[in-house]
Amino acid sequence: MSLIQKPMLITSWVLQVVVVIILAQTLFFKFTGAEETKALFEVLGAEPMGRYASGVMELIAVVLLMIPRTSVFGAVLSLGVITGAIGAHLTKLGVSIDPVGLGNPGLEPLEGPSLFVMAVVVFLSSIGIIVIRRSQLLGVFRGFGRDVTDTST
């Protein structure tokens, strides 16, 4: 595995912290059953299981992102989860959440584009982490196809 140069490593950690902060703050709302989060998942037709499932995936991503050896896998997982969130915004919720238009006044605290903007930040940051730490990701695939009894590696 090749070493990541120090400036890129620092950049990766900054991006990891950004993703962790955004995802971690949403976990509180998902796991405590905040009314606005419940309303959001009701619009998606995924309350409560979608809320719990996405919360568990985000929690796993947060943990993986904070461990150097697994951070690239956390970035891949966060990219997958946030791609679903962006898809929900583009198809059902809208870029700017409109409680009246969605017919759910419980969404008022979420009114506006802030959730979508945070999702895009997580999306782009996750891609940045994956690009910077791609050697870690590729290292996993180098081992596939080898005979487990082969000790010549």
Query: What pLDDT does residue 150 have?
Result: 47
CA dist., res. 34 & res. 28, Å (int)? 8
CA dist., res. 114 & res. 97, Å (int)? 9
Which pLDDT band, with edges at 50, 70 and 90, does 151 fall under?
low
- Comparing CA positions, the residue from 137, 118, 132 lying closest to residue 13 is 132
* Per-residue pLDDT tens over the stretch 44-85: 999 999 999 999 999 999 999 999 999 999 999 999 999 999
Structure tokens at 63: 């943990």
CA dist., res. 82 & res. 54, Å (int)? 9
In this prediction, residues 88-117 reach a mean pLDDT of 84
Query: What pLDDT does residue 145 have?
Result: 56
DSSP 5: P
Query: What pLDDT does residue 100 have?
Result: 79
